[in-house]
Structure 1
Amino acid sequence: MSELVRIAPGALTIGRPLPWDVYDADGNVLLCQGFVIQTDSQLDQLFERGLFKPRVIEVPQEDDEASGDEAECNPFARYPDYLQALEKALAAIAAGEPDARKHLQDLAHALEQACIKAPDSSLALIHLYSVGPTIHEQIIFYAILCQLIARQFGLDEQRIPILTEAALSANLALVPVADKLNAFNKVLSTEQRSVIRKHPQRSIRALKAVGIDNDLLFTIIAQHHEQGDGSGYPDGLSGADIRPEAEILALAERYVAMITKRAYRKRMNVTAARKLIANLADGNFRPALPKALLQILGEYPPGTLVRLENNEVCVITGRPVRARGPFVQVVFDSSGNSCDTRQERDTSVPEFNIQALEEPDIMPSMSFSRIWGFPD
């Protein structure tokens, strides 16, 4: 299959799910999306034999959007598309291509449709892949969270697409060095800190260079590292001088940083992250924004693992609906055996009450599309 390409070193990591299906040279599926690499030898074999199929994002037509529902919008299947489309969009901006913004808008639109039609699955992407995401994955996570927070907060619908574009492009200037910085376990040098502090302005200059002219977009990017108490950068703005869109992006980045592993610190579990978010309303953010994020996440966000009273280990698939849930699918039965069939549990039933979060060092392999009930 000529469209298959070799997996680049560093694209896969032990302990986190495969972001796409892996094929052999004849086009046969070796491993499905959601399989978790357990050992160095497995990783070496994949780099030696494995291929994957890059795909180009297809923007839904208006007629498709009107009739679409969650079953027709599978964020897990489209995850490789999102990553490929983001790389293409950012590369187009960096290269000064005149159609660069269209790539950015197409991806923002695709993510918007996913978040509207399949919000639980979109949110699950973030938690399933949060062990050690690349900078491109983190950026996709920012955009998803911005979509969800903005609607919960009540942001004008006309401004959400611009916010999503900002989430996708604000860290453009950091992309070449971000993964190295995340893997750096020493105190950052003056030069490294300077690169970080200047990235909003550099990203804006790159966007202007391809003919993009949108004041709201530039303002969101310029302000997304300002702090409500005036301690942020680059201008030390405070309070109402900071646009809510910029605070939404800052909050999205903050949450992803909390639950993401870095070389210099462990990742937080969602319980600890929720506690920190609850405290962010004290001077750093408009109080309604952390509240909106907490409402979106719930106590157990989709994509997190929990142990039930009957000793089953499950993955959260849906947030509570009225007096029921959150809903889960069984990953391991009460004897610790992997579950190969869909078995949903309503955790409001006493037998299936959530006992505790599960925080394995290595994520279990799961078929995400099957677990979330998407058609093959």
Structure 2
Amino acid sequence: MPFDVYGAGNKLLLRRGHVVENTRFAEELVQRGVFIDAGQAERLAQAKNEAHPQKLELPSALRFINLSNKRLEKLLYNLSNEENAQGKLLEVVKALTYAFDINADVAIASVFLNQAAARYAVRHCIDTALVALLIARAMKKSSDDIQAIMAAALTMNIAMLRQQDQLENKQEPLTQAESEIIKTHAEKGAEILKQVGISSPAWLSYVEVHHENEDGSGYPLGAAVKAIPQDAKLLSLADRYCASISVRKYRKTLLPSAALRDVLLPDGKPSDPMLAAYFIKELGPQPPGSFVRLQNGEIGVVTRRGKASNTPIVHAFIGPRGAPLSFPIQRDTSKQLYEIRDTLSGAEVSLRFSMQQLWGSEAAL
């Protein structure tokens, strides 16, 4: 018996733990209308729950990122018709920040592994905002500064959104009209945002100068540009990094380490050493979501940043002889046997998997 059993007049018939050895006796107890102490039952149930607490399912960072993609797509393509555009765009910023807080590694991995979630023009803005958030948090920037950087990332290409979708499938060189759209989109984007009620000077400024360089090689102002705010430079580097590692039809996709070198050290030296140091430290040569081959021959995905930027945690899913493993095995690349031998492109890894297989419920769709 799981509980004490009582009969008429609260008379104790059987104590908890008594074994009823035959069905006939159990039926007789039922016919006599026996009952249990509800208080005792509740106390026992509570004790059981405390001993074996139920695991609550964690919210999914990936789900929030995908919902943000859909929400942002609807907003950007209909921005001129939206009431309170600024408030609605900042809601997307909050949703992405919440996803990042759930699991920052899933958020960064989504930049590499979640590219089919939305059209490039919108998804690239989401990716840039997440990378910018990673760096800005590491630099201990204020919440207001981070909000302005992320909002600018989400809206930086508003003036060439539809053209960007078309350019994804273009194989031939850009026409003069297309080149003009690209070169003027930052300035025109800031104007569009003003027209729909964006009032943050920082937000507008970062959109306007996110393609400018201090050496005058950027656009649209070029050599006429004044000093570029550090936050705008942070946005620019995040934008270029995400563009470099994305799969594009008209451009070679770079591995993460090559993208860092190409973006941060275009002439062999960083244009902003402090920003370059933070990008290298926080992203590293193999950020979460990148594919690697280990010294023992296994192939896997980086799932978590390690103690050092070049020793992340990897989940291997292909064995040394090229056969898929039954389940992903966690490897610490700071150990000699599991050191990273090569970084691989997605095209070199044929096995299909879901992010949930590697990160659990925090990466559920």
TM bucket (normalised to shorter chain) is 0.7 to 0.9
* Structure 1 position 362, deviation (Å): 6.1
Q: How does 1:134-145 map to 2 (within 5 A)?
A: 134-145=120-131
SS at match of 1:339: strand
1:267 alignment partner, one of 248, 253, 261 = 253
* 1:282–1:94 CA distance, 2 compared to 1 (3 A): farther
Residue 302 of structure 2 aligns with which residue? 316
Q: How does 1:1-376 map to 2 (within 5 A)?
A: 72-95=58-81, 97-129=82-114, 134-236=120-222, 241-280=227-266, 285-321=271-307, 325-361=311-347, 363=349, 364-374=351-361
More helix by share: 2
The question of whether the paired residues in 1 share the 8 Å contact of 2:264 and 2:270 is answered with no
* 1:308–1:282 CA distance, 2 compared to 1 (3 A): closer
SS at match of 2:334: coil
The question of whether the paired residues in 2 share the 8 Å contact of 1:281 and 1:287 is answered with no
2: CA distance, partners of 1:217 / 1:360: 34
Cα offsets for 1:163-211 (capped at 9, x unmatched): 1111001111111110221322222111101111121232222222222
SS at match of 1:328: strand
The question of whether the paired residues in 2 share the 8 Å contact of 1:227 and 1:284 is answered with no
* Identical-pair percentage: 28
Moved more, 81-90 or 319-328: 319-328
Cα offsets for 1:49-80 (capped at 9, x unmatched): xxxxxxxxxxxxxxxxxxxxxx8343323332
The question of whether the paired residues in 1 share the 8 Å contact of 2:109 and 2:288 is answered with yes
2: CA distance, partners of 1:322 / 1:282: 23
2: CA distance, partners of 1:330 / 1:294: 24
* Structure 1 position 85, deviation (Å): 1.1
SS at match of 2:360: coil
* 1:180–1:284 CA distance, 2 compared to 1 (3 A): farther
* Structure 1 position 160, deviation (Å): 0.7
> Taking structure 2 as the reference length, what is the TM-score of the superposition?
0.76
SS at match of 1:241: coil
* Structure 1 position 365, deviation (Å): 1.4
SS at match of 1:372: helix
1: CA distance, partners of 2:188 / 2:204: 11
Output the amino acid matched with 1:256.
C
* Structure 1 position 94, deviation (Å): 3.2
Structure 2, gaps ≥5 residues long: 1-56
Structure 1, gaps ≥5 residues long: 1-70
SS at match of 1:345: strand
* Structure 1 position 280, deviation (Å): 4.5
* Structure 1 position 360, deviation (Å): 4.3
2: CA distance, partners of 1:367 / 1:303: 11
SS at match of 2:327: coil
* 1:315–1:133 CA distance, 2 compared to 1 (3 A): farther
Output the amino acid matched with 1:367.
S
Aligned-residue CA RMSD (Å): 2.6
* Structure 1 position 328, deviation (Å): 0.9
The question of whether the paired residues in 2 share the 8 Å contact of 1:329 and 1:345 is answered with yes
* Structure 1 position 241, deviation (Å): 1.0
The question of whether the paired residues in 1 share the 8 Å contact of 2:265 and 2:271 is answered with no
Name segments (4+ residues, structure 1) moved above 3 Å.
129-133, 237-240, 280-285, 322-325
> Taking structure 1 as the reference length, what is the TM-score of the superposition?
0.74
The number of equivalent residue pairs is 305
